A = this chain, B = another copy of it.
Amino acid sequence: MFAPIETRRAADAIIEQIRGQVAEGALVPGDRLPPERELAETFGVSRNTVREALRSLENTGLLTLKKGAAGGAFIANDVAPAIVSGFQDLFAFGVIRPEHLAEARLLVATTSARLACERASDAELAELAACVDDAVAAGAAGDMAARSEANLRFHRLLAEASGNPILAVLTDAITGINRGFADAAGSPPNRQILPSRKRLMACLLARDAEGAAREIAEQVKAVERFYMKELGRERRPVQKPARKGAG
């Protein structure tokens, strides 16, 4: 007979409206929203409420807030970082565990390699080759951090060369979590990685999809084994700290 009343929070309604405009294409990257004071009047809420909405949207990468005279809230499609940190959160909560990550890395890397073989442009192949050279140079110079960065960048470039941005985002997400491992375990030896990279580049240039997939699969597995060994050696029991509040 009577239906329960729904009371939405004002900020959530604002978020929804802005998201809706973006989804419809009425707001495209670069567009500027009215100033906060004006939005407050338009929505009939206080400026603080508008700010809560804008800040949340900025936090998800949908908006960029710039202060100053020509400032304001601008539509930005910098959403990938939010996805990456979302996966990081899932890892922090233990929903995603290292073995899941390893499996996903293998899947994403091999798929990227296959598709890159079919679709990579000459420019992308050149960039990949240059990335390998960077890793070689960094390794020769003893700069392990730079070498590690180059190796991670290689995965990113490979995913981009696949032509599917979903793979690129996933690579970022996996890399974002993996970076913690790399910091804790140190870098795997170059003598394993670099020859594999050379062979992989040869497969890419020859458009040998299965060969490329096999090559990067072996390399990914080798790196995983290295991490597991290193981290297993100095494994600490899972932190189970004192819980605060009313758990």
Residue of B82, B92, B164 touching A104 (CB-CB under 8 A): B164
Count of chain A residues near B, Cβ 8 A: 63
Kindly state the separation between the CA atoms of A100 and B28 in the bound complex, as whole angstroms: 21
Partner of A243, one of B28, B80, B95, B103: B28
Across the interface, which residues of B come within 8 angstroms of A17, CB to CB?
none
Measured CB to CB, the closest approach of chain B to A218, in angstroms, equals: 19
A85 to B26 CA separation, bound complex (whole angstroms): 18
Contact of A164 among B100, B111, B165 (CB under 8 A): B100
Q: Once the chains are docked, how many angstroms separate the CA of A24 from the CA of B90?
A: 13
User: Do B90 and A80 touch across chains, with their CB atoms under 8 A apart?
Assistant: yes
* Contact present for B92 and A55 (CB under 8 Å): no
Give Cα A111–Cα B245 distance, bound, in whole angstroms: 41
Number of copies: 2
Most buried by B among A103, A115, A245: A245
Contacts of A178 in B (CB 8 A): none
Are the CB atoms of B90 and A165 closer together than 8 Å?
yes
Interchain CA distance A216-B244 in the complex, whole Å: 46
Report Cα–Cα, A181/B240, bound state, in Å: 45
On whether the beta carbons of A247 and B28 are closer than 8 Å, the reply is yes
Most buried by B among A30, A59, A115: A59
Q: Is the CB of A77 closer than 8 A to any CB of chain B?
A: yes
Q: Give the docked Cα–Cα distance between A29 and B244 (Å).
A: 11
The answer to whether A244 and B27 touch across the interface, beta carbons within 8 angstroms, is yes
- A26's partner among B33, B238, B241 (CB-CB below 8 A) is B241
User: Of B22, B31, B56, B72, which is within 8 A of A55 by CB?
Assistant: B56
Interface pair B245/A55, CB less than 8 Å apart: no
